[in-house]
Chain A
Amino acid sequence: MAEQIKINSLVPPTWNRLKVNDVTVNMPGEKLAGTIADDINTAPADSKDWNMETGCGADLTAFLEKNGSNPVLVKTDGDKLLTIKKTCTENTADVLCFEAGDGETINVLTDLSSDDSTEAASVLRVLIKAGKGAKVNLAQVIRPGKGLTVVNDIGTVADENAQINIIQVFSDGSDIYSGCRTGLKGKEAAAENRVGLVRTNGQTIDMNYVVKHLAPMTKADINVSGALSKKAQKTFRGTIDFVRGCAQSDGAEAENMLLLDDTVVNKTVPLILCTEENVAGSHGATIGKPAEDMLFYMMSRGISREKAIKILERASLEAAANHIEDEGAKQYVLDIIAEKYVND
């Protein structure tokens, strides 16, 4: 029997009538198998050590404790790219923990996919600890088939001078629920979240991204770009939270959404919370249809309007992918995007 959980809660909440305070997801009411650990080098992780807050939140944690698999600590080989491919054929839940020690760099790429015949739910939770001066680059591609419900959840903590870069590419297919919560707890820690997304054919994407500035001189940048068409629905909650004591911190959110027809629903909720005076926080959003002069330019060069729109969709994904630091990971993702649009 399906179980409903509430995730991606907005803190603090706002008007209920806008239906952005959280989202309810139907999850299978059964034990979900972890399928990733078999393919990579892991060790059991102590749940108490990895009791971290995440973007999707406490309800998902409770669900995973009841129905999910045990968390595993993933071992990486220095800064060598670790590619984790997950092709879903059944209900799955994986909790992967990554720890970059002081001064270490790790590069991780996750590629989650399914074919159109798979009717299932997939939960992937990634927990990251970055030590002093460490750097974690996480690239994620999520390209579900038509019947896969994806819950992609991240929680991170960055120590002094650490940097966590998370680049995500969400291609169309089926519903995606994505959360990410970053705690910048060390002085001069930095985080980047960059998302490129395409949603069409009634698909939903619901996102909750939170960065907490807990120490002085921390820096965060959340950037979302994408394209919506054909009854697609997108909700983006982005929260920059300046906690008292995080003087001289800087947090920025930016969103650039292309709405490609009038059947779409685009909800944007960019919060800035502040209990510290000496900070700089900003948000900017541009939401609307593609500029007519840009389309005209392309059409005047023989590109049909339909193809021009596909080019813009692809550009939304590539804009994010181009920020992946590891060249191998970047090329991997760009190749996936190119393959997707090969006939367009």
Chain B
Amino acid sequence: MSEEKTYVEDINRTIYDVVDDDSDAFKLEQGLTEDIVRQISDQKQDPDWMRDFRLNCLKLYNKSQHPNWGPSIDGLDMNVIYTYVRPNTKMQHTWEEVPEDIKNTFERLGIPQAERTSLAGVGAQYDSELVYHNMQKEVEEQGVVYCDFESALKGKYADLIHEKFMTLLPPTDHRYNALHGAVWSGGSFVYVPKGVKVSVPLQSYFRLNAKGAGQFEHTLIIVEDDADLHFIEGCSAPKYNVANLHSGCVELFVGKNAKLRYSTIESWSKNMYNLNSKRALVEEGGRMEWVSGSFGSHVSYLYPSTILKGDNSTMEYTGIAFAGAGQDLDTGMKVVHLGKNTSSVVNTKSISKDGGINTTRTSVQVMPQAKGAKSVVSCESLMIDNISKSDTIPVMDIRTDDADVGHEAKIGTISDEAVFYMMSRGMSEVDARALIVSGFADNVSRELPMEYAAEMNNLIRLEMKGTIG
């Protein structure tokens, strides 16, 4: 059969690349100084403890270094990043009240439509602030709280937030947690009371519109004992010729016998540095599920981590990363087994093409007290051409005999035999290869709600669309 290669097109990003005029937005000056951090704090009308926290984080940031591992971020200069950009609108509770151009952007991204058909609540952040937040009345009546982070910080749950804020992701962990602690803005707070099962997902969508800006939203979710929630996070930005930065933090507390699924479809533009941190703490019998699709950004450092603190707690991670031209995606996951009879199941897939670089970095730690722990990790990588790169860097640190840990990793290319089989049944080579890649990613799309699975499959199909030659 032909040895010709499939030419794979870049993603069609039309819906993501529309830029809104931001001339009427309020921007703080570029860079990161104590004065800028104080101004952000003023803009947010922070309580005193938060202002002090921000300033301490800035000191930590200034003392810290970029990690000595991972992709280069030499193209990111904090001195030219706008850390705070506020659109010229307040947060609204109906789409009609959202300014026309911003509303149109979210319409193109399908957010209001999804809210009408398949979501229990939506938060939409535009640059540094939320522009829309709403939740179904029935869900609210169950006692579920879903609001913008700034409101939560001053409302009924202020003490709870003070107690939990950046305790799972302390600013001492690494440089970008410290940065986030200093300049965070926006994000969501979710509280699901004991025993409440939210049958329809909530979604936050983060849109970064301003050229050269950073987005630093904070998401804090508390799912109390026996409760159940599916939270979806989406993100995108138009492409610019300067660096943009995303450094959000996601802290998730999963109570006894509670369940939280956190799904992300990330489609940042290819000038974005995505230095994001996510961590979940799971109590006895609780379950944490991560579903992660990474398609965008120029450089990503993204490793959702889970602490299985309670006995019989479980975690499942399903993730895919698709790196094309100009992309260096360092993604993966971390899990620490502390409780007895805890289990983790990890399934990662990566696809590299057009010179894209994928690094799948994982760690599984089983501590001495985690008797009966079980962990299964599977990493699969697909190389579409020989100008790309795919690395797998797993670490297993096992400190008890009473554990059962399995790991397997595979790397390969699209099988000529499989392509030949499909072509012999009338399929074109292009379609055959696209179908194989879609099948490769099937385990992720199966875990997403229909609309999001369709979006992900569409992204893959667009990536794989091309001609022979």
In contact, B411 and A18 (Cβ under 8 angstroms): no
In contact, B410 and A281 (Cβ under 8 angstroms): yes
The answer to whether the Cβ of B371 comes within 8 Å of any Cβ in the partner chain is yes
In contact, B69 and A15 (Cβ under 8 angstroms): yes
| Closest-CB distance, B179 to chain A (whole angstroms) | 18
Report the separation of the CA atoms of residues A259 and B361 in the bound assembly, to the nearest whole angstrom: 25
- Enumerate chain B residues within 8 angstroms of A278, measured Cβ to Cβ: 383, 386, 413
Contact with A along B382-416 (1 / 0, CB 8 A): 01111011111111111111111111111111000
In the complex, residue of chain B having the shortest beta-carbon distance to the beta carbon of A18: B395
Contact residues, B344-402 vs A (CB, 8 A): 359, 361, 363, 365, 368, 371, 381, 383-386, 388-402
The answer to whether the Cβ of B68 comes within 8 Å of any Cβ in the partner chain is yes
Contact residues, A255-314 vs B (CB, 8 A): 259-289
In contact, A280 and B405 (Cβ under 8 angstroms): no
Contact with B along A83-107 (1 / 0, CB 8 A): 0000000000000000000000000
In contact, B403 and A288 (Cβ under 8 angstroms): yes
**Given A13-B69, A14-B361, A267-B397, A273–B391 Cβ distance below 8 Å?**
yes
In contact, B381 and A266 (Cβ under 8 angstroms): no
In contact, B407 and A284 (Cβ under 8 angstroms): yes
In the complex, residue of chain A having the shortest beta-carbon distance to the beta carbon of B413: A277
In contact, B397 and A275 (Cβ under 8 angstroms): no
In the complex, residue of chain B having the shortest beta-carbon distance to the beta carbon of A276: B386
Count of interface residues, chain B, beta-carbon cutoff 8 Å: 40
In contact, A259 and B401 (Cβ under 8 angstroms): yes
In contact, B410 and A282 (Cβ under 8 angstroms): yes
Report the separation of the CA atoms of residues A260 and B399 in the bound assembly, to the nearest whole angstrom: 11
The answer to whether the Cβ of A80 comes within 8 Å of any Cβ in the partner chain is no
Report the separation of the CA atoms of residues A244 and B403 in the bound assembly, to the nearest whole angstrom: 38
Residue pairs across A and B with CB atoms within 8 Å: the count is 143
The answer to whether the Cβ of A343 comes within 8 Å of any Cβ in the partner chain is no
**Given A262-B371, A274-B411, A12–B391 Cβ distance below 8 Å?**
yes
In the complex, residue of chain B having the shortest beta-carbon distance to the beta carbon of A255: B407
- Enumerate chain B residues within 8 angstroms of A276, measured Cβ to Cβ: 383, 386
| Closest-CB distance, B303 to chain A (whole angstroms) | 9
- Enumerate chain B residues within 8 angstroms of A260, measured Cβ to Cβ: 401
Contact residues, B414-467 vs A (CB, 8 A): none
In contact, A279 and B69 (Cβ under 8 angstroms): no
| Closest-CB distance, B73 to chain A (whole angstroms) | 15
In the complex, residue of chain A having the shortest beta-carbon distance to the beta carbon of B353: A277
In contact, A12 and B386 (Cβ under 8 angstroms): no
Report the separation of the CA atoms of residues A82 and B253 in the bound assembly, to the nearest whole angstrom: 63
| Closest-CB distance, A206 to chain B (whole angstroms) | 14
- Enumerate chain B residues within 8 angstroms of A244, measured Cβ to Cβ: 386
In the complex, residue of chain A having the shortest beta-carbon distance to the beta carbon of B380: A282
- Enumerate chain A residues within 8 angstroms of B398, measured Cβ to Cβ: 259, 265-268, 287-288
- Enumerate chain A residues within 8 angstroms of B397, measured Cβ to Cβ: 18, 20, 265-267
| Closest-CB distance, A316 to chain B (whole angstroms) | 15
- Enumerate chain A residues within 8 angstroms of B67, measured Cβ to Cβ: 16
**Given A14-B393, A18-B397, A262-B399, A288–B386 Cβ distance below 8 Å?**
no
In contact, B392 and A285 (Cβ under 8 angstroms): no
| Closest-CB distance, A340 to chain B (whole angstroms) | 22
Contact residues, B68-93 vs A (CB, 8 A): 68-69
Contact with B along A309-337 (1 / 0, CB 8 A): 00000000000000000000000000000
Report the separation of the CA atoms of residues A271 and B381 in the bound assembly, to the nearest whole angstrom: 13
Report the separation of the CA atoms of residues A285 and B406 in the bound assembly, to the nearest whole angstrom: 5
Report the separation of the CA atoms of residues A268 and B408 in the bound assembly, to the nearest whole angstrom: 12
Report the separation of the CA atoms of residues A103 and B246 in the bound assembly, to the nearest whole angstrom: 58
Contact residues, A229-276 vs B (CB, 8 A): 242, 244, 247, 259-276
In contact, B391 and A277 (Cβ under 8 angstroms): no
In contact, B385 and A272 (Cβ under 8 angstroms): no
- Enumerate chain B residues within 8 angstroms of A269, measured Cβ to Cβ: 393-396
In contact, A259 and B383 (Cβ under 8 angstroms): no
Report the separation of the CA atoms of residues A231 and B403 in the bound assembly, to the nearest whole angstrom: 16
In contact, B395 and A14 (Cβ under 8 angstroms): yes
In contact, A262 and B368 (Cβ under 8 angstroms): yes
- Enumerate chain B residues within 8 angstroms of A20, measured Cβ to Cβ: 395, 397
24 contacts between A and B (CB under 8 A): A12-B69, A12-B393, A13-B68, A15-B69, A261-B401, A262-B400, A268-B394, A270-B394, A271-B392, A271-B394, A274-B383, A274-B390, A275-B386, A277-B384, A277-B386, A278-B383, A278-B413, A279-B412, A281-B409, A281-B412, A282-B408, A285-B408, A287-B398, A288-B403
Beyond A21-B69, A280-B411, 14 additional contacts (C-beta under 8 Å) are A16-B69, A20-B395, A265-B398, A270-B394, A271-B392, A272-B381, A274-B389, A274-B411, A277-B385, A277-B388, A282-B409, A283-B394, A283-B408, A283-B410
